[in-house]
Amino acid sequence: MQFEFALQPLFQGQIITVWDRARLQGLSTLLRAQIGEIIDKMGASSAKAQNLPAIITTLSRIITSDHRLYIYTEDALVKGILKMGRKKLFHRDMIGGIAEINPYCCLDFYVHESCQREGIGRRLFEESFKLDKIPPHKIGYDRPSPKLISFLRKHFNLSKFVPQTNNFVVFDAYFEPGWKEDEKKGGFGSKRLTQEVRFTSSESLQQTSSNSESKVTSHNGEQQKTPGKEQGRSSASYLASPFAVDPTLDNPFNSNTNSFDIGGGKIVTNSCQEKEW
């Protein structure tokens, strides 16, 4: 994208520059107006390209948040942007367990249509990985387009995830062994909310809790007891048949689904039929 003013005073010949609240507030009135025009126009183009209902990247949003904006400029043209920042999310795994996580997130990503497939997007992400010291599988992605999903699969081998109602994508690799330690070091990890989820039939799933034991009605109508807190287990336990999820959790999958292969692009159900994802 071309602008009517010179880019040199702003970017000093650097191809990738990083902008945050402190840097923007330190600019002169003229330079702040110029960088504001760049950010607002690139943000508008990004929203249009992604068919978003509103523009999510503007100068005012950067100045009033702790977000970082990476801008790619070359040959007197602004070619791409990448906005990063932390976001508190509630993440549901494939069996209904809920975790509160606080990942560093890709909040907006756009490469101008005239210069796509030139490696600009990858260079933006790699600059973020290097500067923020957070690898791609430890990042959440806000409403990623099919192009971005394909990009992440191709360049960073990321494909498996559980779809969420909040439209953020957090790849399964985020929860690899050691993610709790990552939380202590860099805030990558999460606080587990669901202590335990056990399964029978979602149609007859009922939950009661007490300090000592939990009674749940199973699919055959019999009362069954599950251990309580004194045995090291949450009293808010579920008892149900394989992989039926509590229907109150707004689970995106059919409650009769037995297995999932998100990365492979198919769902295998109890009837052993394959459905394309």
Q: Per the annotation, does 156 bind a ligand?
A: no
pTM of the model: 0.66
Q: Per the annotation, does 59 bind a ligand?
A: no
Q: Per the annotation, does 183 bind a ligand?
A: no
Has residue 131 got a pLDDT over 70? Answer: yes
pLDDT band at 43 (very low <50, low <70, confident <90, very high): very high
CATH topology of domain 7-175: Aminopeptidase (3.40.630)
Q: Per the annotation, does 119 bind a ligand?
A: yes
Q: Per the annotation, does 146 bind a ligand?
A: yes
Amino acid 182: pLDDT: 59
Query: What residue spans define the domains of the chain?
Result: 7-175
Amino acid 177: pLDDT: 74
> Rounded to the nearest 10 degrees, how much is the dihedral formed by the CA atoms of 167, 264, 109, 2?
-140
What mean pLDDT do residues 210-218 have? 41
Q: Per the annotation, does 122 bind a ligand?
A: yes
Q: Per the annotation, does 13 bind a ligand?
A: no
Q: Please count the CA atoms within 13 angstroms of the CA of 133 that sit on its side-chain side.
A: 4
Q: Per the annotation, does 149 bind a ligand?
A: yes
Amino acid 247: pLDDT: 34
Q: Per the annotation, does 196 bind a ligand?
A: no
Residue 177 backbone phi and psi in degrees, to 5: -50, 130
String of b and e for 229-249 (b: at least 16 CB within 10 Å)?
A: beeebbbbbbbbbebbbbeee
Highest mean pLDDT among 138-152, 180-194, 234-248 belongs to 138-152
Query: What percentage of the chain exceeds 90 in pLDDT?
Result: 61
Q: Per the annotation, does 101 bind a ligand?
A: no
pLDDT band at 181 (very low <50, low <70, confident <90, very high): low
Q: Per the annotation, does 62 bind a ligand?
A: no
Q: Per the annotation, does 120 bind a ligand?
A: yes
Q: Per the annotation, does 150 bind a ligand?
A: yes
pLDDT band at 176 (very low <50, low <70, confident <90, very high): confident
Q: Per the annotation, does 148 bind a ligand?
A: yes
Say which range, 140-144, 194-198, 209-213, has the weakest mean pLDDT.
194-198
Has residue 8 got a pLDDT over 90? Answer: yes
Q: Per the annotation, does 12 bind a ligand?
A: no
Q: Per the annotation, does 112 bind a ligand?
A: yes
SS3 274: strand
Q: Per the annotation, does 41 bind a ligand?
A: no
Q: Per the annotation, does 109 bind a ligand?
A: yes
Q: Per the annotation, does 9 bind a ligand?
A: no
The Cα–Cα gap between 240 and 217 comes to 9
The Cα–Cα gap between 15 and 269 comes to 50
Q: Per the annotation, does 45 bind a ligand?
A: no
Q: Per the annotation, does 262 bind a ligand?
A: no
Round the CA-based radius of gyration of the chain to a whole number and report it: 23
What mean pLDDT do residues 252-277 have? 36
Q: Per the annotation, does 110 bind a ligand?
A: yes
Has residue 245 got a pLDDT over 80? Answer: no
What mean pLDDT do residues 232-241 have? 31
